[in-house]
Structure 1
Amino acid sequence: MRLLMQIVIPVEKGNAAASDGSLQKAFDDFVTEAKPEAAYFFLREGKRAAFFVFEEESQKNLIAHNEKMFVALDAEISIQPVLSHGELSEQL
């Protein structure tokens, strides 16, 4: 299943994580493990944010992805299934 995972990182924790290298490590580890087809980084209401689009077949793996972002970055996380335009066209 293709998923969109969005994370928002509190400013104070994000600043500390950027300074000590744990921000980059958390993102690098996630990209290595989940192999997202897209990864974008941006600001949301003055906070660091990112979204990733990736395939995941096991809900068990989602827990591992979430926990790492919670622990390393105090991240707020939202995940939802998404379809490409082609997949949507097939369903209609």
Structure 2
Amino acid sequence: MRMVLKARIPTEAGNAVLRNGTLLKIMEAAYAALQPEAAYFTLEDGERTCFFYFDMQQSSQMPPVLESFFMDLNAKVALQPVMNADDLRTGLGDMMSGT
């Protein structure tokens, strides 16, 4: 299932991992683990925020992926299913055809 993971990193924790040189390593490890179709990095309410859009095969993927955001970055994490335009067309088409 296509998912979006949003991690919002508090400024103090982000500054610490940026200074000690581990921020890039943490993000690269997350990218390697998730193999996202897209990843975006921005600010939200003044805090570093990242979005990873990826395919989750089973819920057991959650701990190895999410714990680094919690433990290493003290991040607030959200994970939810999402659709792309093709998924929306298929879902609405199925709904309209009664399948």
TM (norm. structure 2) is 0.90
Large movers: runs of 4+ above 4 Å:
none
Structure 2 matches for 1:7-26, cutoff 5 A? 7-26=7-26
- CA shift at 1:40, angstroms? 0.5
Q: Distance in 1 between matches of 2:25 and 2:75?
A: 14
Aligned position for 2:96: none
Q: Which residue of 1 aligns with 2:65?
A: 65
Question: Does 2:44 match 1:44?
Answer: yes
Matched, 1:6 2:6: yes
Aligned with 1:5: secondary structure?
strand
**What is the alpha-carbon distance in structure 2 between the residues aligned to residue 43 and residue 23 of structure 1?**
15
Question: Structure 1: which amino acid aligns with 2:85?
Answer: H
The 2-side partners of 1:8 and 1:45 are apart by: 9
Runs of 5+ unmatched residues, structure 2: 93-99
Asked whether the equivalents of residues 5 and 51 of structure 1 are also in contact (C-alpha less than 8 Å), the reply is: yes
Give the paired residue count. 92
Cα distance in 2 for residues equivalent to 1:55 and 1:17? 27
